Amino acid sequence: MDRYDPIKIEQKWQQIWADTSAFKATEQNGTPKMFLAEMFPYPSGAGLHVGHVRNFTIVDVLTRFYAQQGLNVLRPFGYDTFGLPAENYAIKTGIAPQEVTKTNIDNFRTQAKRLGFAIDWSREINTSDPEYYRWTQWCFLQLYKKGLAYQKESYQWWCPVDQTVLANEQVENGKCWRCGHEVEKKKMKQWFFKITEYADELLESIDSLEWPDKIKTMQKNWIGRSIGAEIDFHLTDSQKITVFTTRPDTIMGATFLVVAPEYAGLDYLLTDDTREEVLAYKSAALKKSEIERQENKEKTGVFTGSYAINPATKEKIPIWVADYVLAGYGTGAIMAVPAMDDRDREFAEAHNLAIVETELVDRDLYGTPKTMYKMRDWLISRQRYWGCPIPIAYDSEGDPHPIPEDQLPVMLPEVKDYQPDSSGRSALAKATDWLKVKVYNEKTGKIEEMTRETDTLDGYACSSWYLWRYASPHDTKAAWDPEAIRYWEPVDIYVGADHAVAHLLYIRFWCKFFADEGYLPFREPIKKLIYHGYINAPDGKKMSKSKGNVIDPLDVINDGYGADTLRTYEMFIGPVELDAAWDPRSVGGVYRFLNRCYNLLDSISDIDNNITIRNKTIKKVTTDIHKYNFNTAVAALMEYVNELYKTGACHEDLVALAKLLKPFAPHLASEMLERLDANDEWPTWDDKYLVSDTVELVIQVNGKLRAKLTLDASDLDDEEKIKSLALADPRIAKYTADGIKKSIFVPRAKLLNLVV
């Protein structure tokens, strides 16, 4: 037989799969379904790297595994295409983001097909396609109608280089996550989604999810529900500050108040003597991220010059400003009880403030009960050209009006200059013809000429509903077809390594909202979540284009290893939830393993010597895939092949091997099954062949484990023989040279303890 040629075999089977639409999914009532998806990628110019391959291969292994078991499997694909990289590239080169995005998508698709992924390409989606973002805009309008999409003026992170608002998680050490320039705080009118409306349900339904515990904990912490009370502290001249506290019972020990640097009433609190110092402190605080402010061990602050009256003690207490208090949490003001709170004590000690030990009082005695959340409403405005246009226009008085649904999509106009304008608005502000639109004004009852919104939506809006679009991606009448949704959704298994909080929280929020509106028959979008580790460079560092350590999967394939080797290696590299470093030597080892699988076709035995190991391997691989222990499943296949080389492989052995191998190395497995004239139906095991004819016995000396012996199960009752074998073992002999006092044999526990 010819030698194993992975490139030739893979090209053959990829063509067959394409010609037969092998992975096209249709609704089949009566057949159990399985909907699997990965967090879809942003198609950068660099294309897929081997880290992406791990993400996609996990989905593909499960796709093929469940299909082989007879389930009706849907595995679609898409691209999250709006965002700053394409816009920055357009600013730099003048090449339209639309053009760059198309080129990048073509490259990603080519790579994905070379990897042999079992994708239903008829369901491919692209978030910057007008036929897609038409429905993103529709989703926005549904939220707007219910008051869950709204505008307000607030301080936002602003990148002066990218000239756009940034979310908190996009600010790293006071710098823009994208360009690295220092950011600043700017007061702006922005659009928000009122995710806090669903805070309680988002929190309370987390425990029901089949998600990794660490992800559920991160979501709980992000929502951060606190139950407490609001208490008024009056100033000396009848003004008041309302604080939020989770411990109203400690009010007797409150010796000072602290307000956030952004506190709305700060200016009123300042005196001529303190104004300059406080405003300088405020300016410095606004340059720090909230994470920095919370984690900073140095408790800095400035006295405002004003005092308030503690309603419990009637004592006059000073009001300070400090950056560890956040304006967006509670009221932006707290009562400090240094005798009861470590953070308050540190601040009091640093600034020579009173610390008073006192008794607790009745919690209902002071203040009004209140529940607060760390989670803020979702800021969705972006001052970018390359994003989904917000379907809003403004009348002559500046009031917003929704674009009618029958006028969607609001198309991105073609522009020549992608640089934001001098006011910080997106390049859309320069598209003068596009800016003007006629919209019905419900206040006047007339159709009037208005000005379009020039902000675009945060890319997370586009990815908050795409899983439902997969059910009916070509529907021109609705965002998703109800019948298709009822069949396919929710997603059975979702795979990713990013967006532990933001994306996963937002998609849950939208799911609950659209369920309330009657558009979805479920309230959680994802049943099971696999959150996997990264594949890093060989030196353990994260792969990045800037470091020049990115490994292109096509380079690995074209070096002669083939896609099956790459796929199998990435599943073998380690436990799915852990990071792993790329190891070129191990890639070669996996290639040799696949060679050995192929070469077994050369000498098929007529004798079935491997019934036990075959059944054990089937059970092991099946169980491991169900548990997402892909690395140990591959290891079991390697052990199986080693045994087949020792004992000779019959037809049944090779059919089982090919079927078990198919999720990992589908091209090679398909070739083997064709030559063996066998189907790919997943094999089953027979329990009667799983009873071992050997047992492992633990040997202790004075209660300490010293060795393990493997012996025939028939010898388990022969204590003298076992003792003789143990004493002859050099690992035991060195401890028993002076003889033994007695032996304790426990057959049921498979234990022999020698006492010396």
Answer whether residue 569 shows pLDDT above 80: yes
Distance CA 623, CA 686 (A): 14
Answer whether residue 118 shows pLDDT above 80: yes
Which residue, 331, 352, 373, sits at the end of a domain?
A: 373
Pairing of strands 400-402, 392-394: antiparallel
Q: Verify that 366 and 410 share a domain, yes or no.
A: no
Dihedral Cα 333, 334, 336, 341, nearest 10 deg: -140
The secondary element (H helix, E strand) that includes residue 133 is helix 130-145
Domain count of the chain? 3
pLDDT reported for residue 161: 83
The secondary element (H helix, E strand) that includes residue 425 is none
Nearest to 84 by CA among 461, 419, 392, 548: 419
What φ, ψ does residue 686 adopt, rounded to 5°? -115, 120
Distance CA 428, CA 38 (A): 32
Which residue, 414, 429, 459, sits at the end of a domain?
A: 459
Task: Please indicate, yes or no, if residue 398 is contained in any of the structural domains.
Answer: yes
pLDDT reported for residue 155: 75
Q: Verify that 230 and 306 share a domain, yes or no.
A: yes
Interval 638-657: pLDDT, tens: 999 999 999 999 999 999 99
Q: Verify that 342 and 235 share a domain, yes or no.
A: yes
**584-602: average pLDDT:** 96
Mean pLDDT of the chain: 92
Distance CA 407, CA 198 (A): 30
- Report the b/e string of 471-484 with b at 16+ CB within 10 A: bbbeeeeebbbeeb
Task: Please indicate, yes or no, if residue 599 is contained in any of the structural domains.
Answer: no
Partner residues linked to 232 by β-bridges? 242
Residue 295: CATH number of its domain = 3.90.740.10
> How far out from the chain centre does Cα 724 lie?
57
Task: Please indicate, yes or no, if residue 188 is contained in any of the structural domains.
Answer: yes
What is the residue-wise DSSP string for 199-210? HHHHHHTGGGSB
Interval 183-203: pLDDT, tens: 887 888 899 999 999 999 999
Task: Please indicate, yes or no, if residue 680 is contained in any of the structural domains.
Answer: no
Answer whether residue 669 shows pLDDT above 70: yes
CB 625 within 8 A of CB 65: yes
Token pair belonging to 635: 């290891």
Distance CA 282, CA 273 (A): 16
As a whole-number percent, the residues of the chain with pLDDT over 90 amount to: 73
Q: Verify that 235 and 368 share a domain, yes or no.
A: yes
Token pair belonging to 148: 């869950």
Q: Verify that 252 and 294 share a domain, yes or no.
A: yes
Read off the pLDDT band of 25 (50, 70, 90).
Answer: very high
Task: Please indicate, yes or no, if residue 179 is contained in any of the structural domains.
Answer: yes
Q: Is the peptide bond before 666 cis (omega within 30 degrees of 0)?
A: no
Nearest to 698 by CA among 706, 688, 708: 708
Read off the pLDDT band of 311 (50, 70, 90).
Answer: very high
Residue 171: CATH number of its domain = 3.40.50.620
Answer whether residue 339 shows pLDDT above 70: yes
Q: Verify that 162 and 144 share a domain, yes or no.
A: yes
Answer whether residue 713 shows pLDDT above 80: no
Q: Verify that 156 and 276 share a domain, yes or no.
A: no
pLDDT reported for residue 349: 94
Answer whether residue 749 shows pLDDT above 80: no
Answer whether residue 709 shows pLDDT above 90: no
Distance CA 176, CA 192 (A): 21
Task: Please indicate, yes or no, if residue 621 is contained in any of the structural domains.
Answer: no
CB 469 within 8 A of CB 139: no
Distance CA 691, CA 270 (A): 82
Answer whether residue 503 shows pLDDT above 90: yes
Range list of H helices, 424-501:
432-435, 459-462, 466-469, 482-488
The secondary element (H helix, E strand) that includes residue 310 is none
Answer whether residue 228 shows pLDDT above 90: yes
Token pair belonging to 276: 């300059």
> How far out from the chain centre does Cα 282 lie?
35
pTM value is 0.85
Q: Verify that 366 and 230 share a domain, yes or no.
A: yes
Q: Verify that 253 and 329 share a domain, yes or no.
A: yes
For 404, residues 6+ apart whose C-beta sits below 8 A from its C-beta are 439, 440
Token pair belonging to 207: 């425990």
Distance CA 41, CA 82 (A): 11
For 449, residues 6+ apart whose C-beta sits below 8 A from its C-beta are 436, 437, 438
Token pair belonging to 476: 């021109």
Distance CA 300, CA 311 (A): 26
What φ, ψ does residue 542 adopt, rounded to 5°? -65, 140
Alpha carbon distances (Å) from 293 to 173, 277, 301, 377:
10, 19, 12, 20
Amino acid (one-letter) located at 90? A
Distance CA 426, CA 390 (A): 12
Which residue, 459, 478, 498, sits at the end of a domain?
A: 459
pLDDT reported for residue 365: 80
């025939």: which residue's tokens? 712
Answer whether residue 335 shows pLDDT above 80: yes
pLDDT reported for residue 169: 64
Answer whether residue 433 shows pLDDT above 90: yes
Residue 734: CATH number of its domain = 3.10.20.590
The secondary element (H helix, E strand) that includes residue 378 is strand 378-379
CB 697 within 8 A of CB 722: yes
26 CB burial (10 A radius; 0-12, 13-18, 19+): exposed
Q: Verify that 394 and 429 share a domain, yes or no.
A: yes
> 715: domain range?
694-755
Task: Please indicate, yes or no, if residue 553 is contained in any of the structural domains.
Answer: no
Distance CA 264, CA 641 (A): 71
What φ, ψ does residue 730 adopt, rounded to 5°? -60, -25
Distance CA 47, CA 104 (A): 7
Assign residue 43 a region (left: φ > 0; alpha: ψ between -120 and 50; beta: otherwise): beta
Distance CA 748, CA 726 (A): 18
Q: Verify that 294 and 432 share a domain, yes or no.
A: no
For 503, residues 6+ apart whose C-beta sits below 8 A from its C-beta are 39, 460, 463, 464
Token pair belonging to 756: 């010396």
Task: Please indicate, yes or no, if residue 436 is contained in any of the structural domains.
Answer: yes
670 CB burial (10 A radius; 0-12, 13-18, 19+): buried
What's the longest Cα–Cα distance across the chain?
107
Q: Which residue has the higher pLDDT, 562 or 703?
A: 562
How many helices (H) and strands (E) in the chain?
A: 25, 34
Distance CA 463, CA 484 (A): 19
Percentages helix, strand, coil for the chain (3-state, rounded to 5) are 40, 20, 40
Distance CA 560, CA 142 (A): 52
pLDDT reported for residue 132: 98
What is the residue-wise DSSP string for 9-61? HHHHHHHHHHHTTTT-----TTS-EEEEEEPPPP--TT---HHHHHHHHHHHH
Range in 137-141, 321-325, 536-540 the model is least confident about: 536-540
Q: Verify that 318 and 397 share a domain, yes or no.
A: no
- Identify the three-state secondary structure at position 454: coil
Distance CA 540, CA 562 (A): 24
pLDDT reported for residue 178: 74
Interval 247-304: pLDDT, tens: 999 999 999 999 999 998 999 999 999 999 999 999 888 877 776 777 677 889 999 9
pLDDT reported for residue 364: 86
Distance CA 267, CA 613 (A): 79
Answer whether residue 163 shows pLDDT above 90: no
Read off the pLDDT band of 143 (50, 70, 90).
Answer: very high
